[in-house]
Every structure is written in C-alpha cells, then in structure tokens.
Amino acid sequence: MLDVIARRRMVRSYRREPVSAELIDAVISAAFDAPSAGNTRSLELLVLTETGVADYWDTTLSGERRRGFPWPGLLDAPVLLLPYVDPARYVSRYAEPDKARTGLGVGTEAWTVPYWWVDGGAAVENMLLAANGLSLAGCFFGQFDHEAAVRERFGVPAQLRAIGTVAIGHPDLANDRSSRSTARPKRSVEELTHRGRW
Ligand SMILES: Cc1cc2nc3c(=O)[nH]c(=O)nc-3n(C[C@H](O)[C@H](O)[C@H](O)COP(=O)(O)O)c2cc1C
C-alpha cells in the first residue's frame, strides 16, 4: 500500500480503451470508504462514461480553448468521477445531541475548518490511490468557473458543491506531459516536519 502511495502521480494522457465496470466500481467503492467527519457521509458521485465524458468536455472546454489545451490526452480518459459534498448535511449532523457542544450546528459560517472539503479531499485521494493500485491512473483537476454549467448539464442538485473532477483510465505514459507545477522543487520531509516543537 505504501508503494502505491509513493508511486501515485497525476497522469494527463490516457489510452482510449474503456475501463471495465468492475474496476470503475472498485474506484467508486474506495471513494465511499474514505473517512467522514461525524460519519456525516454527504459524499455523492456523478459517474460519466462515453457520451457523458464527451458532454462534460463540451460543457467545460469550448472549441477555441480546446485547440490550445496543453493536455489533449486527458480528454481520452474514458471515465470521469465527480465528487460532490453537501455542507448543510454537516451543519445538521453537528446540531445532533452528541455534537451540539461544538457549536458547528448553527450554520456553515461557524466552521473554521469546513469538514466537507476535508472529506471531499480524502475521497479524491482514495479514488486516485485505488486507480493506481488497480494499474490504472488518475488525475484530479478543478472545475473552476464551470461548476454551475456542469451542475446544469447533468442535473446536480443545487445544495451540493463540487470538489472537482477525477479522470481515470489506462495511462498513455509515452504521451504524458506533466504540469508545470510538477517542476517545483519538492520540499524535504525534514524541512516540513517539526518533531516535538516547531
Ligand atoms: C487540490 C488540487 C487541485 C489540483 N488541480 C489541478 C488542476 O486543475 N489541473 C491539473 O492538471 N492538475 C491539478 N492538480 C494536480 C497537481 O498539479 C499535482 O498533484 C502536483 O503537481 C504534484 O504532482 P503529482 O500529483 O503527480 O505528484 C491538483 C491537485 C490538487 C491536490
């Protein structure tokens, strides 16, 4: 397992080969195995394959931007998994008797650390690790200002918030191009770890 964690990299180029339903289901299950604050479990997934994938890219990457898109092989990923979370569910869960003393049941603005984003991130990492562990690859990317258009196109309920999009598929490593972010020097574990005192 530690090996899968160490080897995981975002892959932005995929072969067109479909992913079996069994593997897709295994990655989906991994998302729902992620920890969840207060066991709130607000996570829901929109799963897109085939025409759904084409519709996603038509919605988020218009003709002109598509021509200049630096990762054309990302559009070949046969599966897109879109995790959504529901902040209101956390507020009602934390208003329950066993959590009420936290004060978080009054509204989303009371949350210094909004756990819906934390849970969403854990689900994303579980999906990426599951994909890599199953000899697939994955890439997480933002929806940015397309969240509303994606919601509209696929009928996502208004109260849910998108974490982003996870592409999965069989990697086409020969044509993969990493993002400019990858070139940033990695800060060392020693530099970032403060044992006993900062
Ligand atoms: C919260 C978050 C947002 C990210 N957004 C994007 C994105 O929009 N597009 C993209 O190509 N990669 C995105 N990435 C991938 C990062 O660029 C990548 O994880 C980082 O460069 C380290 O590379 P590695 O994951 O392959 O080790 C994102 C990663 C995280 C965790």
Is the minimum distance from the CB of 9 to ligand 1 under 6 angstroms?
yes
Percent of the chain whose pLDDT exceeds 70: 100
Number of domains observed in the structure of the chain: 1
Whether 182 is covered by a domain: the verdict is: no
Centre of ligand 1 to C-alpha 74, Å, is 13
Residue 128 predicted with pLDDT over 90:
yes
Whether 50 is covered by a domain: the verdict is: yes
pLDDT of residue 179: 84
Which has the closest alpha carbon to 137: 146, 147, 145, 127? 127
Centre of ligand 1 to C-alpha 181, Å, is 8
| 79 strand-pairing partners | 49, 168
198 vs 192: CA distance, rounded Å: 10
Whether 156 is covered by a domain: the verdict is: yes
Whether 89 is covered by a domain: the verdict is: yes
The whole domain housing 12 covers 2-174
Whether 77 is covered by a domain: the verdict is: yes
Which has the closest alpha carbon to 107: 88, 129, 79? 88
Which range has the worst mean pLDDT, 30-34, 46-50, 167-171, 180-184?
180-184
Residue 177 predicted with pLDDT over 90:
no
pLDDT of residue 60: 97
Whether 179 is covered by a domain: the verdict is: no
> Which residue has tokens 């069994």?
22
62 vs 135: CA distance, rounded Å: 31
Centre of ligand 1 to C-alpha 139, Å, is 7
Q: Which residues contact 33 (CB under 8 A, 6 or more apart)?
A: 126
- For residue 167, give the CATH number of its domain: 3.40.109.10
| For range 82-101, the mean pLDDT | 98
| For range 35-56, the mean pLDDT | 98
| For range 129-154, the mean pLDDT | 98
198 vs 189: CA distance, rounded Å: 14
Is the minimum distance from the CB of 181 to ligand 1 under 6 angstroms?
yes
